[in-house]
Amino acid sequence: MEGASYFRFEIELTPEANPPGAIDKLQKELRAWFTARSLSHVFGNFGGRRLCHGEVGPPATEGDRQAMAEWIGAQHLCATVRLGSLVPLDPSASILAPITDWVFAIENLTETERAEAVASNAKMRSFVEARSAGQP
């Protein structure tokens, strides 16, 4: 049954902790990783600038799930990662069910990336405060 199995994933970037463009870079590099491994995958559209989620397979194996965890763990991000169990394909399964099987945090930002995140958030905060005060 493993040939018809898949697993879900969710990578939630920690608010205000990542440099600008982190989600775009993650999605691009993750898509390339899936392609290099010839893995069928689907990305979800819900998540804004903080959430990258989707499904891997079918077919998918436990080895694919382990490899994805290792790959994600090496990325320059501050995030919470959730990888679902390898399960048989079931069209009636909820894609919105919480993923609780394997949850771990990563924090692999360099000092430069942390500084970029702080500067970007300060700039955004100043912009919002200025707009709130009625300034153009």
Please report the DSSP string for 25-78 in residue order.
HHHHHHHHHHHHTT--EEE-S--TTTEEEEEE-SS--HHHHHHHHHHHHTSS-E
Q: How far is residue 94's CA from residue 122's CA, in Å, rounded to a whole number?
A: 39
The ranges assigned to domains in the chain are 2-132
What tens digit of pLDDT does each residue of 17-69 get? 999 999 999 999 999 999 999 999 999 877 678 899 999 999 999 999 999 99
What tens digit of pLDDT does each residue of 87-129 get? 998 888 887 889 999 999 999 999 999 999 999 888 878 878 7
* Residue closest to 55 by CA, chosen among 108, 96, 2, 1: 96
Preceding omega of 59 cis (within 30 degrees of 0): yes
